[in-house]
Structure 1
Amino acid sequence: MSNKQIYFTLITACSAGYIWIFLHASGIISSNDHVTGCIIKSISGVPCPSCGSTRSVISILNGDLIGGLLYNPLGPVLLLIMFVLSVLLLRDGLLSKRTTAEWYRSAEQKIKNKYIAVPLTMAVFFNWMWNIYKGL
């Protein structure tokens, strides 16, 4: 991917994440509205590995870290990634740097290593099984 594509993708993903969190945190959308961002769950009725992430992030933002972890352990990870990416993207924009694109490429290469990819894949798989067990 070109730098332009990386920045467009990351800015779009972070913006969409912040908008989604805002809509839920402000009560514009609630879990009672039967609105789900998960296509997999909408079609199959089975939760995906990231189901519960919105509730997890909202819980954490409300000061309930344990509740957030119980909804989905990926929530704190997503929140941290969104925050760090936002800071890096803002820094790159203000200072005309390309640090985020370099970091993205480096992370992408590291994740391709089987000693990192396999444990990450297993963690996501076990999280998925836990989501199914919890009936999210």
Structure 2
Amino acid sequence: MHRFNRRIGLYFRPLAPLETDFEFLFLGVSSGFASSCYLWLTFGLPWPRCWFRCLTGLPCPTCGATRCALALTHGDLLSALRQNPLMFVCYGSTILVNIYAAVVLLFRLPRPRLARVPAEVKRVLAVLVLIGLGANWIYLLAYR
């Protein structure tokens, strides 16, 4: 076990016996979800409707997620970013985590684990997530 950062307790270590394999779980679930979405649209099934938009006429914070994903699959990064900036970041992060998970699983590398996360870091992350959601929603409302 190798300690990388003393303040937040970041460790690199092999997977312990009976420990949940989060890398395998994330890779499997996200790949399965992406595959099912691809098949859904390939078979020409109806696109999902936003119930919030149907009821209020306003976009929800994730409106444009399907259009963003389609633009990404066509390699149109700018259009994907315009459709929904938050989902663009989420999809990009998912791709990066999937690459990390595949490399860790394929080469059986030690996995990074956090021993403890200070409460102040948790609060800052929660505030940043809320700011991101709010900013994305304001963007969608302004450019709907």
Contact 1:54 1:75 in 2 (8 A): no
Say whether 1:27 aligns with 2:42.
yes
State the match for 2:100 in structure 1: 88
Quote the offset at 1:95 in angstroms.
2.3
Quote the offset at 1:66 in angstroms.
2.3
Write the mapping of 1:89-104 to structure 2, written as runs, cut at 5 A: 89-99=101-111, 102=113
Q: Which amino acid aligns with 1:92?
A: V
State the match for 2:27 in structure 1: 11
Larger RCO (CA within 8 A; separation ≥ 6): 2
Contact 1:56 1:72 in 2 (8 A): yes
Q: Give 3-state SS (helix, strand or coil) of 2:42's partner.
A: coil
Quote the offset at 1:76 in angstroms.
2.4
Quote the offset at 1:123 in angstroms.
1.7
Quote the offset at 1:51 in angstroms.
2.4
Contact 1:21 1:54 in 2 (8 A): no
Q: Cα–Cα, structure 1 residues 78 and 23, in superposed 2: closer, same or farther, change >3 Å?
A: farther
Quote the offset at 1:16 in angstroms.
3.7
Q: 1:73 aligns with which of 82, 85, 93?
A: 85
Q: Cα–Cα, structure 1 residues 60 and 8, in superposed 2: closer, same or farther, change >3 Å?
A: closer
Q: Which amino acid aligns with 2:122?
A: N
State the match for 2:126 in structure 1: 117
State the match for 1:49 in structure 2: 61
Q: Hey, which of these two has a bigger chunk of helix by percent?
A: 1
Q: Hey, which of these two has a bigger chunk of strand by percent?
A: 2
TM-score, normalising length: structure 2 = 0.61
Calculate the aligned-residue CA RMSD, in Å: 3.6
Query: Which structure has the larger Rg over C-alpha atoms?
Result: 2
Contact 2:71 2:79 in 1 (8 A): yes
Provide the C-alpha distance between the structure 2 equivalents of 1:44 and 1:67, rounded to a whole number of angstroms: 26
